[in-house]
Chains A and B, each alone.
Chain A
């Protein structure tokens, strides 16, 4: 049981390049989330998927797109990377129901030059 996995762990992009961050969970969770973490800002929600086939914007969605490929996988895409998107990105998942906490992946450190 690997929990929540994210690839890659590190990535350097040039401004304008595109890339997709991958996230997968093997806990049969319904909900999945993407956060970004910046120094002094805590974690902020980018997008989330309450269930397979649905996605919704979070607090800071601009410049990102997501795909809930199936119940296991939830990807985050940067179409044209900008230096402001330099951050650490976390994926999380949670079972259905309000009594459960979110389980986090190990994070992806992205640098945009």
Chain B
């Protein structure tokens, strides 16, 4: 079974600075997706960024980018120019592309990000 580990329960960053959230995963598969979801105090789960394992290029969405190291099974999220609205719980998630998995998500335990003004 796949596992996802987020080793930082809490992180803090100054507004306008850069912060990196860590995620490692364990799998024997070669074809999968990785996701970062954001959960603000409203509780809504919001997709931040996704990465397909077969793509070597790291995904980028505006101020959010990932460092995907497939051999090391590492998938970190970098937030540049942090804003107060980035304060939230961030979850890393794994999804197999095997049809037999029915595309279920496996989540890490989350990292609570605080942004200080």
Contacts and interface: CB of A to CB of B under 8 A. Distances in A.
Contact of B107 (A42, A98, A99, A106): A42
Contacts of B52: 99
13 contacts: A33-B104, A33-B105, A40-B109, A40-B110, A42-B91, A42-B107, A43-B45, A43-B91, A43-B105, A48-B102, A92-B105, A99-B52, A104-B44
A106 B39 CA distance: 10
A45 B109 contact: no
A98 B105 contact: no
B109 A101 contact: no
Given A101-B47, A107-B43, A45 B105 contact: yes
Contacts, number: 51
Interface string A20-43: 000000000001010000001111
Given A43-B91, A101-B50, A106-B43, A31 B102 contact: yes
